[in-house]
Chains A and B, each alone.
Chain A
Amino acid sequence: ETGVTQTPRHLVMGMTNKKSLKCEQHLGHNAMYWYKQSAKKPLELMFVYSLEERVENNSVPSRFSPECPNSSHLFLHLHTLQPEDSALYLCASSQEWRGGGTGELFFGEGSRLTVL
């Protein structure tokens, strides 16, 4: 397996459920990202993990909780979501500049989330 892989590709959940999205990168990169893609905001940054540092968009609701156990894996834990959270969630990785990289983002194919 190469590149950035995301699971599940599709997820339907009720508003009271708890679920998690998983992302794994096989590129040896040192930064991983969660972006939300919807018709309203096409590519909205949610969270970034790089070199043990976490950066987040302050407008992300607390019902989204990221976890980065190591440089290759990234999770997005979901609980008590709202229907407006339905979107495509894209994971990406990069080798950022402090690590001698170009900063180019490599995206996964996304997890399509539907909240009923």
Chain B
Amino acid sequence: GENVEQHPSTLSVQEGDSAVIKCTYSDSASNYFPWYKQELGKRPQLIIDIRSNVGEKKDQRIAVTLNKTAKHFSLHITETQPEDSAVYFCAAPWGGGSYIPTFGRGTSLIVHP
């Protein structure tokens, strides 16, 4: 299966700052990269995803960038708010063009008011 590395494991920021979480993957055939957010005691939910035919995608305060050559992708959150505090997981396909997500170890984001 795919090997997904995610950094950092913990990220602490002040409200209004930006936060960046990075992931690398190993299979050059991978073509779909989602990000999930899991609030404390709740289920993971998709917040944004990107496919390999684009390099960047934005949705309000969140964006994802993809560098296929370097095999890494990043989540960017601008103007962070306390409600952004959660664990964020990146994912890449289980194997090549597979649809099955395999997840990174997660990043615990803490936004201090």
**Contacting pair A103 B99 (CB below 8 A):** yes
Number of A-B residue pairs, CB cutoff 8 Å, is 52
Whether the Cβ atoms of A107 and B103 lie closer than 8 Å is: no
Q: Count chain B residues whose beta carbon lies closer than 8 angstroms to a beta carbon of A.
A: 20
Partner of B99, one of A42, A97, A107: A97
**Chain A interfacial residues counted at CB < 8 A:** 25
Interface bits B26-68 vs A (CB < 8 Å: 1, else 0): 0000001010100000111110010000000000000000000
Main secondary structure of the interface of B (DSSP, over half): strand
Instruction: Write out, one digit per residue, whether chain A residues 32-51 have a CB within 8 A of any chain B CB (1) or not (0).
Output: 01010000011111001010
A109 to B102, Cβ gap below 8 A? no
Mark A residues whose CB is within 8 Å of B.
31, 33, 35, 41-45, 48, 50, 55, 57, 90, 94, 96-98, 102-105, 107-110
